[in-house]
Amino acid sequence: MEQRRTIVIDPVTRIEGHSKITLHLDDQGRVEDARFHVTQFRGFEKFCEGRPFSEMPSLMARICGICPVSHLIASAKACDALLAVRIPPTADKLRRIFNLAQVVQSHALSLFHLSSPDLLLGMDADPAKSNLVGVLEKDPALARDGIELRKFGQQIIERLGGKRIHPAWVVPGGVSEPLSGADRDAILESVPEALAIALRTMEWFKGTMERFREEIATFGNFPTLFMGIVKKDGGLTFYDGDIRITDASVKVVADGLDPARYFDYIGEKVESWSYLKSAYYKPRGFPDGIYRVGPLARLNVADRCGTPRADQELAEFHELQRTAVLSSFHYHHARLIEILYCIERMEQLLTHAEILDKHVRAIARHNALEGVGVAEAPRGTLFHHYKIDEQGLVRWANLIIATGQNNLAMNRSVLQVAKHFVHGDRLTPGALNRVEAVIRAYDPCLSCSTHALGQMALRIQLLSPIGEVLDEVVRS
Amino acid sequence: MTLAAAVKTLKIDGRDCSARPDETILDVARENKIFIPRMCQLEGLSTVGACRLCLVEVKGSNKLLPSCVTHVEEGMEVTTTSERLDQYRKMIVELMFTERNHICSVCVSNGHCELQTMAQKLDITHVRFPYRYPQAEVDASHDRFVIDHNRCILCTRCVRVCDEIEGAHTLDIMGRGIESRVITDLNQPWGSSETCTGCGKCVQVCPTGALVEQGRSVAEMEKRRNFLPYLTLMRGEHE
């Protein structure tokens, strides 16, 4: 009898949301296929139907507690398109600062709270220690830096939006309140410390990379397309720009694509085994149109960051691989460069002469019945697309979330890691952790992408071809 | 009748109070700064005793009496707070939440809502009854205002202000019991109403996010109600 078996990792730990991984073994016990299943379902696109569009930014922000600001921004931009207005320049800058602060806190969460146990304690560390508390014991300064950096981002969000999670400050047409001089000064005062943390962490990270040669070589190290928005001059941006797609040899495949026409070039495929749809670049078809978004992709597509320290680091980053930077392990590195960029860019924006201007909201009724809003969320390009009726009530909504766009690459990465590290019908803790760690490198947000958070226990099952449980390990 | 004979004396929560004969228990309690919860009653409008939150205990009566429509009597002894009353009041507010689709976090009136404030004041931490999740429409056909039936508690303040203060009587109630709905004119879209003057008083008196201004985002809808007592006072003097 043919001995085909499946290893199930359920749920995957230290990520945002619910998922499981199945590893399919051949009769020799070698991994022949791997699947990353997203097991939660949200339904935001459906239950917003019938609501006044002016409620959409805050309603959609409830998709996620980690990156509500990204949804606020993309949604408000879609609503700006419904109003058909140009928002006041100060509102534009304030929204940019808000979004950058969000990227800093989200990246800090991903790098320090979720991935630093792997990076500091090693992939083979005792699972019981492999958490932020373990990091705090081994390197208290590093853990403190992580917490401080996240606080820095969160406090900016609070100063601008009134609260850290789900602020209702971003509205169609701009923002609801201008920035006060006192808040501007307080944020600027906190910049040097944040910058110092980012630079320290960068040095530490680069020092640890040598230990992860094997992981760098196998953590999603394969050619794909990369996608992100860039400024007109090709510079890095998180708020406004056109879509650029590059390939593994850093060749521009498509440039200047109108983000509002995303449906012309992005397809979404539904798989029966996951609630997460897989996005692909339409001209190349499925699955050849595999592309990645997020920090790694943004730094591959952008010509420059546009701030001095980040640009210096970007130059070094591009030396990592002769082609585009392909290994998904480098998402961590890219995240750190982006943190640097965000801090530097926020400082530039906060010192702008107009930043305290009181005119921060354009007032209008809906003047268009369809609107698309696009921004770069921490995890990648985020699209919100709404259609409304004559009364301004939402009749249709479509969201394309970063994690969905990385779905194909995450699946392929899990397979690559499993093929390299999983042998036989038993999972060693180190192999298991690596399978999870490659997912963490993408920092997927499953709450967002299926438009939940909960118990992060781990269950691994070894199943026979008829579904019989051969082995089971439970970790809580 | 002498003025002294016209004055009624009563006790509220053990406190001696005096009142005119035409005053209700709620009026006297308010004058004496004794808090009695209420949702449908609003100073300046007629009282209908609809929400039953202002129920009080009166010595000698087994029934609980709505203080907003119960006139004072000589020698009355009123209790405004007791375990029994707390239980009923909580239950009433919880049932208000279950009847429609109140989701505070994404409501335009979040932070400025009387229902939300009342729930907090009554220490309601959860709702013990199953939600009904009715299918309710949003009518945004009016140029300036929106009615969201998902957030309506049928207090009828809007109906009364429209009739008694504005004199338009655009708004009314259709249906019975739990099927009741606020309607405009003969149950037609608000935007097509011929009687609505667009004064917006209904929006200002609405305790929740059911009646709001167009274009308001989440937590942005603050109501302005001070106009009502002034308006009624000025009109009284004019007449």
Whether the per-residue pLDDT at A448 is higher than 70: the answer is no
Are the Cβ atoms of A171 and B220 closer than 8 angstroms? yes
Q: What's the pLDDT band for A76 if we cut at 50, 70, 90?
A: very high
Are the Cβ atoms of B146 and A59 closer than 8 angstroms? no
A166 CA: distance to closest CA in chain B (Å): 9
Tokens of B18: 């005096």
A123 CA: distance to closest CA in chain B (Å): 40
Query: Contact B217/A176 with Cβ under 8 angstroms?
Result: yes
Whether the per-residue pLDDT at A118 is higher than 60: the answer is yes
Specify the number of domains making up chain B. 2
Please tell me whether residues B35 and B144 are part of one structural domain.
no
- Rounded percentage of chain A residues whose pLDDT exceeds 90: 69
Q: Name the residue of chain A whose CA is nearest to B141's CA.
A: A391
DSSP assignment of A337-389 equals HHHHHHHHHHHHHHTSTTTT-S--B-------SEEEEEEEETTEEEEEEEEE-
Query: Contact A394/A387 with Cβ under 8 angstroms?
Result: yes
pLDDT digits (tens, 9 = 90+) for A282-328: 999 999 999 999 999 999 999 999 999 999 999 999 999 889 999 99
CATH number for the domain formed by residue range(s) A44-405: 1.10.645.10
CA distance A204 to A200: 6
Give residue A453's pLDDT.
28
B27, B52, B81: which is the final residue of a domain?
B81
Residues of A with Cβ-Cβ distance to B138 under 8 angstroms: 50-52, 393
Whether the per-residue pLDDT at A450 is higher than 70: the answer is no
Q: What's the pLDDT band for A1 if we cut at 50, 70, 90?
A: very low
Helix axes A140-161, A89-108, angle to 10 degrees: 150
Give residue A132's pLDDT.
85
Domain of B225, CATH number, reads 3.30.70.20
Residues of A with Cβ-Cβ distance to B108 under 8 angstroms: 54-55
Whether the per-residue pLDDT at A273 is higher than 90: the answer is no
Please tell me whether residues B109 and B201 are part of one structural domain.
yes
Query: Contact A158/A183 with Cβ under 8 angstroms?
Result: no
Give residue A447's pLDDT.
57
Whether the per-residue pLDDT at A469 is higher than 60: the answer is no
Whether the per-residue pLDDT at A259 is higher than 60: the answer is yes
CA distance B183 to B156: 11
Are the Cβ atoms of B217 and A59 closer than 8 angstroms? no
Please tell me whether residues B107 and B195 are part of one structural domain.
yes
- Rounded percentage of chain B residues whose pLDDT exceeds 70: 97
Q: Mean pLDDT throughout B134-162? A: 97
Are the Cβ atoms of A363 and B140 closer than 8 angstroms? no
Please tell me whether residues B138 and B45 are part of one structural domain.
no
Query: Contact A98/A170 with Cβ under 8 angstroms?
Result: yes
Q: What's the pLDDT band for A436 if we cut at 50, 70, 90?
A: confident
Q: Dmax over Cα atoms in chain B, in whole Å?
A: 58
| β B55-58/B77-79 pair status | antiparallel
Kindly report the pTM of this predicted structure.
Answer: 0.91
Residues of B with Cβ-Cβ distance to A392 under 8 angstroms: 140, 214
- Smallest Cβ–Cβ distance between B217 and the set A58, A166, A365 belongs to A58
Please tell me whether residues B92 and B68 are part of one structural domain.
no
B217 CA: distance to closest CA in chain A (Å): 5
Helix axes A331-350, A89-108, angle to 10 degrees: 150
Tokens of B231: 């308006």
Are the Cβ atoms of B217 and A168 closer than 8 angstroms? yes
CA distance A127 to A143: 18
Please tell me whether residues B48 and B118 are part of one structural domain.
no
B135 CA: distance to closest CA in chain A (Å): 11
pLDDT digits (tens, 9 = 90+) for A185-215: 999 999 999 999 999 999 999 999 999 999 9
Please tell me whether residues B228 and B126 are part of one structural domain.
yes
- Smallest Cβ–Cβ distance between B138 and the set A58, A62, A393 belongs to A393
The whole domain housing B226 covers 87-238
Taking the CA atoms of residue B50, residue B51, residue B57 and residue B60 in that order, the dihedral angle to the nearest 10 degrees is 20
Please tell me whether residues B64 and B118 are part of one structural domain.
no
Whether the per-residue pLDDT at A425 is higher than 70: the answer is no
Please tell me whether residues B151 and B188 are part of one structural domain.
yes
Tokens of B66: 């709505």
Please tell me whether residues B91 and B171 are part of one structural domain.
yes
Residues 6+ apart with CB under 8 A from A50: A393, A394, A395, B137, B138
Please tell me whether residues B52 and B168 are part of one structural domain.
no
> Any idea where the domains of chain A sit in the sequence?
5-42+406-475, 44-405
ipTM attached to this prediction: 0.90
Domain of B43, CATH number, reads 3.10.20.740
- Smallest Cβ–Cβ distance between B217 and the set A55, A365, A392 belongs to A55
Q: Would you give the distance in Å from CA B143 to the centre of its chain?
A: 26
Give residue B132's pLDDT.
95
Give residue B28's pLDDT.
97
Query: Mean pLDDT, chain A, as a whole number?
Result: 89
Please tell me whether residues B97 and B144 are part of one structural domain.
yes
Handedness of CA A159, B106, A40, A375 (dihedral sign): negative
Query: Contact A237/A348 with Cβ under 8 angstroms?
Result: no
